[in-house]
Homo-oligomer: A and B are copies of this chain.
Amino acid sequence: MSLDPRDALRLALAPNSIAVIGASDNPNKIGGRPLAYLSRFGFKGVVYPINPTRTEVQGMHCFPDLASLPEVPDVVVVAVAGEQAIAAVDECGLAGVAVCIVMSSGFGESDPQGKARELAMAARARSRGMRIVGPNSQGLANFGNGAVPSFSTMFTEVMPADGPVGIISQSGAMSVIPYGLLRARGVGVRHSHATGNDCDVTVCELAIVVAEDPGLKLLLLYLEGIPDPWHLAEAARVARVRNLPIVALKSGRSAAGQEAAQSHTGALANEDRTVDAFFAEHGIWRAQSMVDLVDTAQLYLQGWKPRGRRLVAISNSGAVCVLTADAASAADMPLEPLSDATQGELRAILPGFATTTNPVDITAALLSNSGLFGAILPPIAKDPAADAFLIGIAVAGAGYDVEAFASDAAAFATATGKPVVVAAPQLSVSDRFKKHGMAVYPTEGEAVQALGQYLSHHELQLEATHRQPAVPTRPRAVGPACMLDEAASLALLAGRDITAVRHRLCGSEAEARAAFTALGGTPVVVKGCTGEVSHKSELGLVRVALRDIDAVGQAYGDMTEAARAAGITLTGVIVARMVRGQRELMIGARLDPVFGPVVLVGDGGKYVEAMPDVQVLLAPFDTPQVEQALRRLRIAPLLDGVRGEPALDVEAFCRMAAAVGALMVDDAAGITQLDINPVIVGARGAGCVAVDAVVYQEITLPNPPPKES
């Protein structure tokens, strides 16, 4: 019987036997490369070329078909085209093959017909207990055991070396470009898998299994779409247990990029800031570019246990010191002065015009005395001001003892155990430091940026490990929804501990007048209540700061008139207390089709769309997470009060946001979207109230909305 689906993936990475349907004698063809690679890279299992037109392929016995093989192979590579490919996959499924790697293209990436063929093929495979990688896959590559059923050109161009890095990508190119760039930097790569159209096995699911590899110290992902965040969260969980960092490059950040992704892998667009929040939640670092993805890699392989972000810089160039200070500032890495004792020791070693605070500028005096570098390292090593170091060797060569610099620096790094990055623009210099195992960058800017990212990711991993985020389930399918009017929206929220401003829904001018009195005769806001439009002020359906009963009566009449003019049906007119607070914030929420309930918190008021200042939270979350999010807003300085203003009641707002999160995860409530704007937040202790709200609720079959009479 068929394997556990996850075990099948484990087998795909370490099969006992691999067959290639469409085997070619030409090692540069799609059907030829996998065979060439399996023998070249030392695969220990059995390989079965299959091609009915040949008896021998690349020196191996060739079989006419799957049925002729002496056994059912664990993995079958399908390298034939079109209908033949589909027939081959079906045959594999019937024969009991565990995993089919479909390299053939012309499926979902081509057109809707191709997509339909792909889905049907995947469904048949699933019913037969077979996993599919692809179609349109470049193949898998595990250099740890030579299982390289892949047709990538890269492995003939850049020689592999087994190492502690794994790469998984939907795109073939992006599975091997980081491989190539890392190999060029001397880093070994074990896994380089390209999953193609992900009709069954996705990048995220494969990542779960790859993350189990105890030989890995870094896992890199390239994604164009994330259709299954639950798999990625599971992979992150597996990785966290082993302190395996995951860095992901998720493209399609921009509208143009999403459009291009749609024609490339047919990836569905994910909302970019939700992706950001998801990665952060699960401790995954999001790289911004390919350079980003590979530039920090070497730092993860050093085995450091960073304790903080305070940087100490050492260079023979004052300008490198200045540029390092700028870069460190941009990367939020403070430069604290070395202790008086350390500075005293340094002054005894360095000439008078050198700088001993931090950065430490040895100056060009190093040209006259190469020993200065090695001499200052021991005092610096024991200084408490450093969590990490940058060593900048701006210029060296004839007249300098570069080998001593490199070996002294390496000894220093070992002695401190703290992160050390080297900036050296000259190849002759950087090569020496690399030979001593150090992390070297051409410029201080690149070195500091990479170090900053590495440290930030480390913090993110610690937070995630501490928080132990739940692995989300696949969100339920959401039915059609309708917009509730303001009064109904506020009432629904009030039932969930989301306090609304005091208000009354009035059906007549007399009721409106009575409401004004009942609310205490203080200034009120009068609003038309309707479930037909969400932006009311543009239509004359909002009047603020009404101070007397006649104005309220007048507003009632004006509003019914304005609604009639705009062709809108009012369910009544709301008379609400006008509340003063310290700041208008907002809370929004929606059900993302793949990420589930997403809550937005941010600055509120009229300009939330024109000048957005919001942060994303993935529900469920707790109040400290809301506060963390608020502290990332542009308006964060206002939370604690500025210019003599009191601090905001952040605690009350956080509770309200958490209540919204709880509402959104409650499937029974059937809320698909809501916007509470503004939430008027008072001074600390004064609480906050929802002043306007729009809620969209699912039209569920048990309780259909009342029919119009």
Contact = CB atoms under 8 A, between A and B. Distances in A.
A364 interface: yes
A421 to B, nearest CB: 15
Contacts of A324: 260
Nearest to A170: B319
A87 interface: no
Interface in A237-256: 249, 251-256
A693 interface: no
Interface string A99-126: 0000001100111001000000000000
A256 B335 contact: yes
A269 to B, nearest CB: 11
A395 B257 contact: no
Interface stretch (A437-445, A512-520, A573-581): A437-445
Nearest to A394: B173
A87 to B, nearest CB: 20
A607 B427 CA distance: 50
B224 A319 contact: yes
Given A171-B319, A323-B251, A446 B291 contact: yes
Contacts of A145: none
Given A251-B323, A327-B289, A643 B610 contact: yes
Contacts of A335: 256
Contacts of A611: 634-635, 637-638
A106 B398 contact: no
Interface in A7-41: 28-30
A425 B256 CA distance: 23
Nearest to A638: B610
A255 B394 CA distance: 22
Contacts of A396: 153, 157
A256 B110 contact: no
Interface in A118-177: 138, 152-154, 156-158, 169-174, 176-177
B253 A326 contact: yes
Interface string A354-384: 0101010101100100000000000000000
A445 B291 contact: yes
Contacts of A157: 395-398, 426, 428
A395 B425 contact: no
A399 interface: yes
11 contacts: A105-B364, A110-B352, A153-B399, A154-B395, A173-B395, A249-B323, A257-B322, A260-B321, A289-B443, A537-B643, A611-B634
Interface of A: 28-30, 105-106, 109-111, 114, 138, 152-154, 156-158, 169-174, 176-177, 180-181, 184, 222, 224, 249, 251-257, 259-261, 263-265, 288-292, 316-330, 334-335, 352-353, 355, 357, 359, 361, 363-364, 367, 394-400, 425-428, 442-446, 535, 537-538, 606-607, 609-611, 634-635, 637-638, 642-644
Given A172-B317, A172-B364, A263-B361, 16 more contacts: A109-B353, A157-B395, A174-B394, A180-B395, A180-B425, A180-B426, A181-B425, A224-B319, A252-B326, A254-B325, A256-B325, A256-B335, A260-B318, A291-B445, A607-B642, A610-B638
